[in-house]
Structure 1
Amino acid sequence: MECRSFHNYNDKNSTDTIVKSKRTKILEKKKAIDDVIKAASAHKDPLSSFPAFRFYSRHGISLYLESGRGDKLSAPVKKYIQILLKVNMERHYGSQWPSEEKVKRREMVAPEARYIFVYEVPNASQCETSQTSEGKRTITNCVVDRGAMVGFVHFRFVMEEGIPVLYVYELQLEARVRGRGLGKFLMQLLENIAQKSHMGAVMLTVHKSNSGAINFYTSVLRYLLSKTSPSRIEPLVGIEKSYIILCKTFNHEAAKAILAEENV
């Protein structure tokens, strides 16, 4: 009996040690990811690392980009975001829009919300331009006479399935600046920010009714259906959901294995 008790005691100690070791590794991994997200969120101006993306001058429009954060929004900017969201999104939400609008208003002013604001540059003649290797003209230096805002991007650095990701909450543009390559330009900027910030992927949610946006993300930008999309988690429940989740992973094997699924 004493011998058996001794062995049982040792077995228990061994099991406890293994469990504690696994728990420690899990906590260490989570802390490491939290540190990556905190570091990314701490950058006051992610655009500063990509000066070529400060300005956009193509297809007859000249624009200026500026960074922002949710808890620093001015009253006019808040109002503009609310109006543009309603104009662009109310038809996709239908009868659910009043309740969804309240959610979005809370989201937009959260401290973790990060923004890229897009403004017109009325006096483009004051700007210097250069030619890229692809033969495109781009603004490189400008005495900015900032005009009206014409769109914005709301994004956050978050953890999805144990992977640090840049999640695009909103990409909203006014109708008059769409179809001119601006959406692709902004998504390229976000992908650059994500990679520099050591994110494993860029993720976003799209309404099933928004076929134009789905085609843009999947066919033009090559985003894939995420394994976190409702239709992949619970197919029967996913059919009833009005949205899908898309993602693009980088050189991050875990992100590819955990997040990326297939073409839509």
Structure 2
Amino acid sequence: MDRKKQSSKEKKLKRKEELAKKQSIDEFVRVANAKAAPIEEFPSFLKYERNGLNLIMEAGRGDSLSPPVKQYVQTLLKVNMEEPYGPEEWPAEEKNKRREMVSPDARYIFVKQPCSNSTEILPTDRSNNLLWKGEGDPIVAFVHYRFVVEHEVPALYVYEIQVEQAVQGKGLGKFLMQFLELIARKNGMKAMLLTLQKRNVRALAFYTGKLRFKIAAISPSRWANTLIGAAKSYEILCKTFDPDAKSILEDGN
């Protein structure tokens, strides 16, 4: 066979393989996004009964949040994140987060304190300081996550994991991240990703220590031009479950 024809045939075959791979990856994400409530596939994780807490988990979507839930999410974000972002970055970031939170792609885990157990779960001084202002069981924490494709890797991206001060220090954050990892693996995702402010030193130690996340190859601090990367105020962390995902997101190949 003529060398040019052979080369053309090989290129067409490679393009076909690349297209098939892309379609397969997109299908994983499409199927995951089509699920109304991915958390309900794990009934044993829908309760958190540890360290004096007795909480329940409920699913949510960004395009169906009620006004009280929207207000709660905005309030807890401001309480927890205004300081790590700082006065220079927070006003613009707050607007961005308000847009993100109502996206149809946004998936939520809402952690609630059953009203019937409120006096048993938290001391009065803590219970009275909860931020929830709506009716029904108060929300005390939430997770905002999405199924995405990042550098040709199907991944679960943790946009937010926010826990009220009243229930911090009781293992809830670690539990929620472990829950997200189960959801990611169950839905064919090959990695988890999250973005973190560099000045949030405690959170960085939590993710890289207890949860074994790595600074991703796509994080600013690992860019070839270190001057540009050093100027950025955030890191992107990843945890991979697959050799190909590790090669791309951790090793940068």
Q: TM-score range by the shorter chain?
A: 0.7 to 0.9
- Cα RMSD over matched residues? 1.8
Contact conserved, 1:227 with 1:258, CA < 8 A, in 2? Answer: yes
1:170 and 2:163 correspond: no
- What is the correspondence of 1:105-184 to structure 2 with a 5 Å cutoff? 105-124=98-117, 147-184=137-174
State the alpha-carbon separation in 1 of the partners of residues 76 and 197 from structure 2: 17
State the alpha-carbon separation in 1 of the partners of residues 74 and 136 from structure 2: 21
Number of the residue aligned with 1:57: 49
Q: Under a length normalisation based on structure 1, what TM-score does the superposition of the two structures give?
A: 0.84
Q: Which amino acid aligns with 1:220?
A: K
Match of 2:231 among 240, 244, 252: 240
The structure having more radius of gyration, on CA atoms, is 1
State the alpha-carbon separation in 1 of the partners of residues 40 and 81 from structure 2: 30
1:16 and 2:8 correspond: yes
Q: Under a length normalisation based on structure 2, what TM-score does the superposition of the two structures give?
A: 0.88
Contact conserved, 1:119 with 1:146, CA < 8 A, in 2? Answer: no
SS in 2 for 1:172: strand
- Deviation at residue 124 of structure 1 after TM alignment: 3.9
- Deviation at residue 122 of structure 1 after TM alignment: 2.9
Q: Percent identity?
A: 52
Q: Which amino acid aligns with 2:44?
A: A
Structure 1: give runs of 5+ residues left out of the alignment: 1-6, 126-144
SS in 2 for 1:123: helix
Structure with greater proportional strand content = 1
- Deviation at residue 237 of structure 1 after TM alignment: 1.4
State the alpha-carbon separation in 1 of the partners of residues 79 and 237 from structure 2: 23
State the alpha-carbon separation in 2 of the partners of residues 222 and 96 from structure 1: 28
- Deviation at residue 75 of structure 1 after TM alignment: 1.1
Q: Which amino acid aligns with 2:166?
A: R
Number of the residue aligned with 1:31: 23
- Deviation at residue 146 of structure 1 after TM alignment: 5.3
Match of 2:215 among 225, 230, 253: 225
Write out per-residue CA displacement over residues 55-94 of structure 1, whole angstroms, 9 at most, x where no aligned residue: 1121122111011111111111111111111111111222
Work out the number of aligned pairs and report it. Answer: 234
Structure 2: give runs of 5+ residues left out of the alignment: 119-134
